[in-house]
Structure formats: structure tokens, C-alpha cells
Amino acid sequence: QQQVKQSPQSLIVQKGGISIINCAYENTAFDYFPWYQQFPGKGPALLIAIRPDVSEKKEGRFTISFNKSAKQFSLHIMDSQPGDSATYFCAASGGQGAQKLVFGQGTRLTINP
Amino acid sequence: DTAVSQTPKYLVTQMGNDKSIKCEQNLGHDTMYWYKQDSKKFLKIMFSYNNKELIINETVPNRFSPKSPDKAHLNLHINSLELGDSAVYFCASRASGGSEQYFGPGTRLTVT
């Protein structure tokens, strides 16, 4: 059962454009929603995260928008740069205990110069 | 001064062999994880330890056995390796009371 669904699978954006990746979740017990960035041959690196008590969080060029009622959240990359080309994963965890991360399927982002 | 490190980075072995992957974190975290990333890049949790105690075991075959000698180390031993075990294995760690998980560089296991 895929608890976090991510789209699109791949995305090509021109340099300077806005990249948007969407995720939807099913489990209402989730209360932590991070985004990870992964470059080829490297481990996933935490990019930005949000909790459901806010609808938006911004860090530099990266913004998470969160819609609790729709159980959806998205990553926006403003002024996209070729160095942003990577695979992006949304994830979710929640409740007490081990807080295992449930990942989306990943989006391969390519920024064309 | 790498936060989460794994050894080896690459591991090529034949079917039926037994192999181990090691993970160490110097972040002072209490909880460590093993994740598997398959050929389609899908990441899925396998195990989690908190202060050397197993707290998550996600329906992983018994051939996989994690071991945590102390809270800074989490090793993964795999018996009787199969072709389907080929993947990238990531270790991660998290501080108690925190939600952020920090991942290691991964170990690419290839079973031939």
C-alpha cells in the first residue's frame, strides 16, 4: 500500500523557472512532512520540512505548501538552477514511536540551462 | 567528520554468500535506521534501532539481521544473498525527540 503518492515522475524546467512537485498522503496520523534531495551516487539530504500546523514554509528558493484538508503538500523551487537537477523525494512520518519515514516514488528534476 | 558513514560503498558478491554492511554516526543520535533503495529508486524502511533495541522490523526476510553494538553503530548482515537483494542500502539516524533523519552515503550491493 503506497501511503505517499508523488508526481510527476520526471520534470524538465528551464533555468530560472519554477519547479513544482506534488505529494498526497493517506494516513491522517502523519505529522511531519520532509523533502529530500538526492544526487546520483549520494544519500538523500534533508532539504526542507513542514508540520501540519502551518500552510507554508519557505527557506531560500525552496517553499513547501501544505493543504491539510486535501492531504496534499508540494515543493516549489523558485528560480530553478542547473545545480538543482536531482531526484526529489517527499516523505511523511507521524505518531509516537520510531517515526519511520514513508517515501514517495521520487521525481527526477532536470533544469535546462 | 562525516555525520553518518557507511562501509563499504560498493559490494559485489555472488549468490549464496553472506555479507555485512557497517554504519556509524557521530551525531550523538539515539535512533538508527536501515533503508533499501531499489532499482526504481524507491526508498523503503527495513529496520530501526533505538539505543541498541530493535523497534521496527518491516517484514524483511530472516536472511537480514541487523545488529547494534552501541547506539552509534548499526550493522546489517545478510545471509544467503539472492539476486533480488541487489540495491542501495542507506543508513540513517535521528535524535530522540526530533523528526529529522540524516542519511549516510549508501552501500551499493550487487549480487551476481
- Got the DSSP string for A47-104? EEEE-TT-SEEEETTEEEEEETTTTEEEEEESS--GGG-EEEEEEEEESSSS---EE-
Do B103 and A43 lie within an 8 Å CB cutoff? yes
How far apart are the C-alpha atoms of A99 and A93, rounded to whole Å? 5
How far apart are the C-alpha atoms of A63 and A106, rounded to whole Å? 17
Q: What DSSP string describes B79-91?
A: -S--GGG-EEEEE
Query: A1 pLDDT exceeds 80?
Result: no
Higher pLDDT, B27 or A1: B27
What are the b/e assignments for B37-49, b being 16+ CB within 10 Å? beeebebebbbbb
Do A32 and B55 lie within an 8 Å CB cutoff? no
Q: Which residues of A touch B48 (CB under 8 A)?
A: 98, 100
pLDDT tens by residue, B70-98: 999 999 999 999 999 999 999 999 998 88
* pLDDT in the model for residue B5: 96
User: Do the strands B102-103 and A19-25 form a parallel or antiparallel pair, or are they unpaired?
Assistant: unpaired
Do B43 and A87 lie within an 8 Å CB cutoff? no
How far apart are the C-alpha atoms of B88 and B86, rounded to whole Å? 7
pLDDT tens by residue, A50-64: 999 999 999 999 999
How far apart are the C-alpha atoms of B36 and B107, rounded to whole Å? 10
* pLDDT in the model for residue B67: 93
pLDDT tens by residue, A69-99: 999 999 999 999 999 999 999 999 986 666 8
- The whole-chain average pLDDT of chain B stands at 94
Cα angle A57, A86, B49 (rounded to 5 degrees) comes to 70
| A2 pLDDT tier (thresholds 50, 70, 90) | low
**Chain A residues interacting with chain B (CB cutoff of 8 angstroms):** 32, 34, 36, 38, 41-46, 49, 87, 89, 93, 97-103, 105-106
Q: Which residues of B touch A100 (CB under 8 A)?
A: 33, 45, 48, 56, 58
